Amino acid sequence: MTFYLQTYPFDSPVLALGASVAQDRPYRRMTRRWVENRDPTLRINVREDAERDTYILSALVPGLKSDELNIQVLEDVVRIQGEYKQSTPQSGSADKADESSYLVRELPNGSFTRTLRLPAAIDSDHVEANITDGVLTLRLPKAESARPKQIKIKSN
C-alpha cells in the first residue's frame, strides 16, 4: 500500500480551484483515521525446532517491557496480551491535545490479544520467554505426551 503525503497545502488540487486550507483538512483527517483504525493484532512467526522438540514463537513488541505483557499457556494454546501506550516522542506520555497534528500515524497503540493453537501440547512448566530489542521470543517445549516414544518389541 502506498501513501502519498501532501507537504505543501498550496499544491492541493482543491486549493488550485480557489478553496481554502480548511476545506482540505477533512481529507487529511479521513486518511489519518483510516490508517489508525487498522486491526491492532500482534504479528508473529512460529517455527519448529525438531532437534529440541520445541516451538519458537517470535513477535514484534516495540516499546513494551516484560511486565506489560501477559503470556498464558494451556495445553496447546498460547495467549499473548498487552497494551501499547499512546505516547509522543517529545513528552514520552499520552497527549490527547496533539491528536489533530498527525498526518500519518502507524505506530501501534491500544490493547491487543493474540491466541494461537499449536499442533501439539506444550509443557507449560518449561516455557521460556525473553524480550530483546523489541522482539519477544518464546521457547515452547512439547509436552512428553506429544513426543514420539520408542516401543521395544519383545521376542519369545
* DSSP codes, 30-55: HHHHHHHTS--PPPEEEEEETTTTEE
9 contact partners, CB below 8 Å, separation of at least 6:
15, 21, 24
Q: What is the mean pLDDT of residues 145-153?
A: 80
Q: What is the mean pLDDT of residues 2-16?
A: 50
pLDDT tens per residue, range 10-64: 444 544 455 555 555 655 555 555 544 455 578 899 999 888 889 999 999 888 8
Predicted confidence at residue 12, as pLDDT, reads 45
In a domain, 13, yes or no: yes
Cell numbers of 14, please?
482543491
Burial of 78 (0-12, 13-18, 19+ CB in 10 A): buried
85 pLDDT band, cuts 50/70/90, is confident
Q: Is the per-residue pLDDT at 87 higher than 70?
A: no
**Average pLDDT over all residues of the chain:** 76
In a domain, 152, yes or no: no
Domain of residue 125, CATH code: 2.60.40.790
Are 70 and 129 within one domain?
Answer: yes
Q: Is the per-residue pLDDT at 103 higher than 50?
A: yes
Are 81 and 114 within one domain?
Answer: yes
Are 19 and 64 within one domain?
Answer: no
Q: What is the mean pLDDT of residues 126-147?
A: 90
Instruction: For 96-122, give one letter per residue: b (16+ CB within 10 A) or e.
Output: eeeeeeeeeeeebeeebeeebebeebb
Q: How far apart are CA 144 and CA 53, in angstroms?
A: 10
Q: What is the mean pLDDT of residues 63-84?
A: 90
Cell numbers of 56, please?
519458537
Domain span at residue 12 reads 1-37
In a domain, 60, yes or no: yes
Predicted confidence at residue 8, as pLDDT, reads 46
